[in-house]
């Protein structure tokens, strides 16, 4: 099992450019998440998905879009990059709750700089 994989590891964007951050998990998890991590701020939820075809906004969704066409993949799209989107982005997945406290499994992160 590779777990949760993210590409790219690093990226520098110019203001106004677009890009897609890729996330794939091979654990057949229903739930997938995108977070951003800024220094001293912890992790903030951007979007999440409870299964293929179903997505919902998290705490900080503005400037981002997601889609979930398969169980394995959950790409995050930045349409018009802004300096405020400079951050480290983490993808995570977890199995369905079913009354259990299933933890989230995290990818290694993508470090994005917008200049």
Position among 61, 63, 75, 108 found at the interface with other proteins (CB under 8 A): 108
Q: Tokens at residue 104, please?
A: 């989230």
CA distance 78 to 71: 21
CA distance 60 to 64: 9
Classify residue 83 by its DSSP letter.
G
Q: Which is nearer to other proteins, 6 or 85 (CB)?
A: 6
Position among 13, 23, 25, 33 found at the interface with other proteins (CB under 8 A): 33
Q: Which is nearer to other proteins, 3 or 16 (CB)?
A: 3
1 touches other proteins by CB under 8 A: no
Residue 40 backbone dihedrals phi, psi, to 5 degrees:
75, 5
Q: Which is nearer to other proteins, 3 or 83 (CB)?
A: 3
- Which neighbouring-strand residues pair with 110? 89
List contacts with other proteins (CB under 8 A). Answer: 4, 31, 33, 40-45, 48, 50, 58, 90, 92, 94, 96-97, 100-109
């Amino acid at each position: 099992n590779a777990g949760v994989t993210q590409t790219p590891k690093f990226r520098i964007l110019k203001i106004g450019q677009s890009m897609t951050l890729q996330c794939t998990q091979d654990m057949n998890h229903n739930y997938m998440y995108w977070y951003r991590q800024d220094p001293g701020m912890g992790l903030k939820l951007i979007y999440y998905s409870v299964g293929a075809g179903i997505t919902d906004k998290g705490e900080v969704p503005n400037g981002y879009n997601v889609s979930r066409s398969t169980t394995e993949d959950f790409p995050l799209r930045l349409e018009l990059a802004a300096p405020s989107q400079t951050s480290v982005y983490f993808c995570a997945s977890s199995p369905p709750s079913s009354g259990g406290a299933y933890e989230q499994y995290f990818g290694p992160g993508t470090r994005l700089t917008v200049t």
